[in-house]
Copies of this chain bind each other. A is one copy, B any other.
């Protein structure tokens, strides 16, 4: 389907108001991708007239989203252009993460710079949701104060959770690592700007899409792991969420259908071979509070049992991913989260299985994320400012930022 007809079959009307909203977003994305840019350069890139762009830029500047760097020397004829940049005193995106052993919050500005951080060590396994969320709310409030003191305005909070989140809700359906089930985060965290709750694997994948080393990479499977094994699928730059929001459950792809029983009711799921508990067990180690650190240290020291366990986990990952690659034909498979730290010992057997079980043209690149365990938190914070870039009118109309600009 060509861009001109996108959405035609879904029957969405294209009103003047909708076109204006879309063009405001186009200007912001253009400056975000290539700024600083002059108005003329923006006009050329998005295919609108200079006059139309100037009117849009003025509105975005009044709303505090764009700033002008002042006149710059002109090499040619005509009035010198003033370079535009995204504001570093406009909206801030707040990302928060509930981990099994920590709570973290980070705030980024429109340019993507981290402006404030807060972290607390905590043992959240089996801890009831109330105290965890109260502690997280305090960290979020402190981070909000810190960015306000820098002249920024929090535009929303996105919380990364190690569990399944039903689509378009604030409810964590199942988070076995925390021992939570059907916990609504809305009641405890909604006392602030717009709240979004999202699976951490999804946010890790979005971070890779927005901040990863390969800016043109728009089709990939992102695999991460804590106790379970999570994944997220990005197709043409869009996260594949699934009907219920539960897509990406790579941990329950059958690897050996007659293998050990899994908590999900199945047997021989990937999690039984590549989840942290399974790897510790295969290595003959007792459960540990920091299993990735332990495994990495022992593997680096040449512990044969640990090396064997990681070899087996890599092979199981390769078998499950071979199925995913045959189904989805992605450009790349990216190992993120805790897997990035263990990748030196996982990749050889993973790559071997993946290579022999996929045919030549569709064999994907296998890469390790540079973001590592930071991915979900950064993805959460960036998802808020991405939301502002995608629809600046929604931002100004809900925050009431500048009542005279970008009104609904």
Contact = CB atoms under 8 A, between A and B. Distances in A.
A1 B390 contact: yes
Contact of A4 (B237, B361, B391): B391
Interface stretch (A11-19, A100-108, A301-309): A11-19
Q: Interface range on chain A: under 10, 10 to 19, 20 to 34, or 35 or more?
A: 35 or more
A231 B306 CA distance: 39
B11 A330 contact: no
A248 B326 CA distance: 7
Contacts of A141: none
Interface string A17-59: 1110111011001100100000000000111100000000000
A265 B11 contact: no
Contacts of A10: 3, 237
B266 A328 contact: no
Given A246-B362, A266-B356, 11 more contacts: A2-B390, A3-B10, A4-B21, A9-B29, A14-B19, A15-B47, A243-B362, A244-B361, A249-B362, A251-B326, A323-B324
Contact of A47 (B4, B13, B45, B361): B13
Contacts of A18: 3-4
A7 interface: yes
Contacts of A322: 252-254, 266
Interface in A279-330: 319-320, 322-324, 326-330
Interface in A203-250: 219, 231, 233, 235, 237-238, 240-250
A22 B356 CA distance: 45
Interface of A is mostly: mixed
Contacts of A238: 1
8 shortest interchain CB distances as A-B pairs: A242-B329, A13-B47, A8-B25, A266-B357, A253-B323, A3-B12, A4-B18, A249-B326
Contact of A14 (B2, B23, B241): B23
A373 interface: no
A14 B323 CA distance: 39
A125 interface: no
A319 B32 CA distance: 45
Given A5-B22, A265-B357, A266-B322, A327 B254 contact: no
A363 to B, nearest CB: 10
A160 B332 CA distance: 28
Interface in A358-383: 358-359, 361-362, 364
Contacts of A361: 166, 173, 244, 246
A319 to B, nearest CB: 5
A327 to B, nearest CB: 6
A187 interface: no
